[in-house]
Amino acid sequence: MKIYMGEDYKGMSRKAANIISAQIILKPDCVLGLATGSTPIGTYDQLVNWYEKGDLDFSKVVTINLDEYKGLSGDNDQSYRYFMNKHLFDRINIYKENTYVPNGLEADSKKACQEYNDIITKCGGIDMQLLGLGHNGHIGFNEPGGAFEKETHCVNLTKSTIEANKRFFEKEEDVPRQAYTMGIKSIMQAKKILVVVSGEDKADIVKEAFTGPVTPEVPASVLQLHNDVTLVGDRAALSKML
């Protein structure tokens, strides 16, 4: 595993964007696995900045997102499709038909998940998967205790996840109770994995995930078994790894 440190969030974001941009330059038609959440926003902003300067071309890039709330349409401002459009896709020269997010409006969970697995296969797999890291070690919506062997599946969101997400909604009842997410197996099949972490509040889980035992109780710990993982964090998040 490679570890890179930025002094602060901006420095971390720039280093992560450097790694993604190198992937795009080396393979212009690469398949990028993307993540939502507050941590990657700075990385996306930096990629947009380089695109605007003419340094990056996204016209052949394909993207596959980790997850989506079940029951939300892509034009709902709390959906992950909306998030990706706002923070990245609407700001670069990517073709929307080459950007994939699980279909939150597909009520048949088995169908939705199989269709998404088929998309990943059709695209030839993921060249680089970007991941954030939850306080309890979750990646995507793969919560502690889940099975490592799962591909895309429907999950019931935990109370802690609903609690963490309710700030984005008008009231707690509006927070979806289920989501479609790539499973650990899907994530581990990516050729390269890039994990971004920021803030002192992530320091404990970073250490636990990357130096502790590999266990479903800390989903991100399985990344220790992948042969090409890069961890990029700011000084605060990596403080217990130094």
52 closest CA partner among 64, 44, 41: 44
d(CA 64, CA 129): 9
From 65, 67, 142, 153, active-site residue? 67
- Reported as type and span, the H/E element at residue 114 is helix 109-122
Catalytic, 93? Answer no
From 18, 76, 136, 165, active-site residue? 136
71 closest CA partner among 109, 99, 111: 109
Q: In what order do the strands lie in the sheet with 128-131?
A: 2-6, 229-234, 192-197, 128-131, 31-34, 62-65, 99-100
From 106, 138, 142, 208, active-site residue? 138
From 68, 106, 127, 143, active-site residue? 143
Q: 147 — phi, psi (to 5°)?
A: -85, 140
Catalytic, 135? Answer no
Q: Which residue has the tokens 């349409």?
A: 73
Catalytic, 217? Answer no
Could you tell me the CA-to-CA distances from 156 to 91, 103, 176 in Å, in that order? Answer: 32, 16, 9
Catalytic, 136? Answer yes
Residues marked active site are found at 67, 136, 138, 143
